[in-house]
Amino acid sequence: MELYLVRHGQTESSRENRFTGTSDPPLTAVGEAMAVAIASTYSGLKWEAIYVSPRLRALQTAEPLSRRSGIAVTVEDGLAEIAYGDWEGLKLDEARERWPEAFAYWAADVASRGTSGGETAFAVAARAMRVVEQIRTRHAEGNVLVVSHKATLRIITCALLGLDVRLFRERLAQPVAAVTKFDLTPKTAQLTLYCDRSHLSPELRDAEGT
């Protein structure tokens, strides 16, 4: 089975690089164009299923490909973005200034320590990988799409590669509208494409934000 992992398109929050977990901004016009570009490039594949985070930005990103392929999306709560608690909507420097001690505590171990009132990366790994394993069981072969979020996809990638989840922020990039692909068997996961954005025009690739 070929598992395609896609981060949603641009939002105002991703453009400004703000902590965005449980908050639910829509795609910008640029983000909508990114979603159309994904659909234009990948609608020629035969899709077995499309799994999506419940957040609006993920649903909007999946919608053009879902419509073109005729495959209805399956919403999975386990694919939602990591919750940032009190830091929702803040930039990194704003959180550091407002809660310097809590920020330093979190930054020292971003996997096992959540933000103030937020979720740990290990908790995200547990719920997200449960979904991945369910997908693996349901689809022995074919193409399966997952549309999710920056932190969640980095955590899934670490888990599939056998990397320490503590490295998810430090070692892995995950730009908006990027496509990562794994070839999965019941027991193995081979990375065959990482953060590809060749489906985007130069203007969309150079759009502001992360």
Whole-prediction pTM: 0.96
Separation between Cα atoms, residue 107 and residue 113, nearest integer Å: 8
Task: Give the pLDDT score at 208.
Answer: 84
Identify the band that residue 186 occupies on the pLDDT scale cut at 50, 70 and 90: confident
Known catalytic residues? 8, 81
How much is the average pLDDT of 124-152?
A: 97
DSSP 194: E
pLDDT band at 92 (very low <50, low <70, confident <90, very high): very high
Q: What is the mean pLDDT of the chain?
A: 96
Q: Cα dihedral angle (92, 94, 98, 99), rounded to 10 degrees?
A: 0
pLDDT tens digits for 17-71? 999 999 999 999 999 999 999 999 999 999 999 999 999 999 999 999 999 999 9
- Position 210 pLDDT exceeds 80: no
How many Å apart are CA 76 and CA 161, to the nearest integer?
22
